[in-house]
Amino acid sequence: MYDPPIFFDLSFVRNVIAGFALTLLGALVLLAAGVWSSQAGEWLRGERRPAAWRALCALGLALFVIGIVWQLIGYTPIVRDW
């Protein structure tokens, strides 16, 4: 089986692994926000959700999206050659 030479490039490995780690961290933060939301029953009665919960959701979404973009940058050889 042929392995393309891109897999031996240190920049490729760093960018893809760092992006994957950020994506995973964002997913874990969103999972924590989901658990928090399911445990807080008072939100179901129409009360406003806390600012900390909304910030946690925004942070998780931002980390997830940044991680995916970082991985895509790692896969693009044009960006790595700058």
User: pLDDT digit string (tens) for 30-52?
Assistant: 999 999 888 886 676 777 888 89
**Where residue 8 falls among pLDDT bands split at 50, 70, 90?**
low
5, 63 contact by CB (below 8 A): no
**Where residue 14 falls among pLDDT bands split at 50, 70, 90?**
confident
